[in-house]
Amino acid sequence: MWSEYQRRWPPGERPPVDRSKDSPGSWHSEGNKSLKPDENSRVEAACDQIATRERELISPAMRAVESQDPDRHLIGFEHRLKGRDRIMDKVSDRMEEKNRTPEEAVSLIPDAIRFTFQYEGTRYTQGVWAEIGRMKEHGFKMVRLKNFWEEEHYKGINSQWIEPNTGQRLELQFHTRISFEAKQITHRAYERLRSGQPDEFEKMVLNAFQRKVSAEIPIPPGAADIPDYPERGADAR
């Protein structure tokens, strides 16, 4: 199905972004979002600070959590820092929506640092509950957990945490091998939808592709019963 999509919408045929009028030091996305030179510089500095926190505090703590159970592991560890273009994109949205400063906008991005634990399906539910306890024992504060196991486009659990010493936000995902592979397979479709560029027909095709892949993922016993935090209804978003 994905190969059919690529034949219909070849990536090379999409027109490149015109940056000929951009100011030196500014940032401009494919979706026509932008940051002025001063804003871009301040976001870059904030990203440097995040990278330092990740390297010196957060990743060592996550490796310590990982060491407590040899039957599961962190996967995709090399991709734990979100790409700066994606951070710029999110910052642009948050500054425009709420009139925030670049620093405020960066501080609210929940997944500038992201980790993923992968479990065997039969140990998944037990593992997630144990992981939540371990994270709290290491001082992390959980601010949100979202269970997607009964959703159409994506399967897994995503949680958001705060590192206590710096206030740095991070995301922790919980996957099985198959749900993580499905996430990787559908990532380009997700990114294309997120860009805001597809027309209605292309959106329909991309959404159908995500549903088809997700429908093949077995749901681990008890996984769908892990509750959101805050509970749905208590927090509408």
Pair 18, 130: CB distance under 8 Å: no
Q: What are the extents of the domains in the chain?
A: 28-225
Pair 158, 173: CB distance under 8 Å: yes
Burial 177-197 (b: 16+ CB within 10 A, else e): eebbebbeebeebeebbeeee
For 162-199, what is each residue's pLDDT tens digit? 999 999 999 999 999 999 999 999 988 888 887 777 88
Amino acid found at 65: V
Query: How big, in percent rounded to 5, are the helix, strand and coil portions of the chain?
Result: 50, 15, 35
User: How confident is residue 17, by pLDDT bands cut at 50, 70 and 90?
Assistant: low
- Check whether 31 has a pLDDT greater than 70: no
CATH number of 28-225: 3.30.460.10
For 85-123, what is each residue's pLDDT tens digit? 999 989 988 888 778 999 999 999 999 999 999 999 999
Amino acid found at 30: E
What was the pLDDT predicted at 14?
57
How far is Cα 207 from Cα 170, in angstroms, rounded to an integer? Answer: 27
Say which range, 147-151, 157-161, 214-218, 233-237, has the weakest mean pLDDT: 233-237
Residue 53 is inside which H or E element, if any? Answer: helix 37-53
How far is Cα 223 from Cα 118, in angstroms, rounded to an integer? Answer: 13
Strand partners, 160: 144, 171
Mean per-residue pLDDT, 204-231: 94
Q: Does residue 99 or residue 128 have the better pLDDT?
A: 128
CA distances to 48, 69, 116, 210 from 78, rounded to whole Å, are: 17, 20, 11, 25
